[in-house]
Chain A
Amino acid sequence: MSDNEQTAAEKKLAAKNMRVAIICGLVALAFYVGFIMFYM
């Protein structure tokens, strides 16, 4: 699992994937918290 074996292109893709995951995750979390806050 050594990350240093990755090529530059693979690293770039991994970063892009993480970005999508973080954005979507935050949106989901915001919906969850937002809905509860809305009704409080």
Chain B
Amino acid sequence: MSVDKLKRTVLGAIAASFFLVSGAVFAAIGDMPLNLTKGVTETSQRVYDLHMIILYIVTVIGIIVFSVMCWSIFHHRKSKGAVAAQFHHSTTAEIAWTIIPIIILVAMAVPATKTLIFMEQTGDAEMTLKVTGYQWKWKYDYLDEGVTVWSALDQASNEARQRDSGIDPGTVENYLLDVDNPIVLPVNTKIRILTTAADVIHAWWVPALGWKRDAIPGFINDNWTNIKEPGVYRGQCAELCGKDHGFMPIVVRAVSKQEYAAWIEEQKAAALAAADGANREWAKDELLAKGKEVYAANCVSCHQANGNGVEGLFPALNGSAIVNGPAADMINILLNGKNLMPAFKEQLNDADLAAVMTHERNSWDNTAKDIIQPADVKAAR
């Protein structure tokens, strides 16, 4: 008996400390991320509600089933003198626990079906945004406006995420969730969003919009959104797309329709100015400065900051026969790609390409030391 009592005291103490500890744990995790976002669209709100309904249903089922299990674990044990009954089936019970789950499932399927039908209505959109996934950045085409935005991981995160960078990610604001060029979308507008990819499969996901969709090379997926509240919404690529899959975030800035119109005008003006750059002669220093920037944004993740590449995966530019060879061959590879090297024809303009090639030919141990003018690139297109 006394052993039994001791056992009970110990068990009681364990149970009490368990509740104390879990109380402390619950207080601590109050600040930690726990649940799905409600988001800022009708879709995301509906998805959130559906998520909560199903979570509650399975929680209730779980409590019932686990209680029955626990009850028999505690009461039908040999040490308590329980004698085993010998029943081994009950048609009534078996029919009941087949039919009841079916009813619950049908009840869950109804709102799920409604939400799904709602989400698939991509018609009557007021504008169209085409999203193209690249290894490892996003290209956004505002199809109605003819505006294109390239969006990649921002410089601060990119520096901090390098191995042995010595930078504490905690000091970088929105670490890995910030980009160089955020996209801007108007609120209260039904926007059709097409997703596709240029190389491998990516997935475009902004949790606040309530869905993600794969971006598949050669195919275009159709989706829509209608953002209710202005704000900055962040997301990430959600389909493994190679080495830097974790480093191609998405930032959507939702603004009023007027602000959006102004932003579009700004983008158009900037595109015109950039196109102009190809028509003039550039100085070497100007090309080198620009080239360094372009290299850091587009080339460094494969060819590395020291130009030595990654053995077996990405060739070295330092001492490369192509980089030190005739300009025409190099321009051709940058424009049209080769093996894993993507074609930069559409990604970069003439001035950017000329600048980055000039930078590479004058960096590290390379001996070419010449300059390539935007006009040379333009001619080769």
Direct interface between A and B, CB < 8 A = no
- A residues in contact (CB < 8 Å) with B: none
- B residues in contact (CB < 8 Å) with A: none
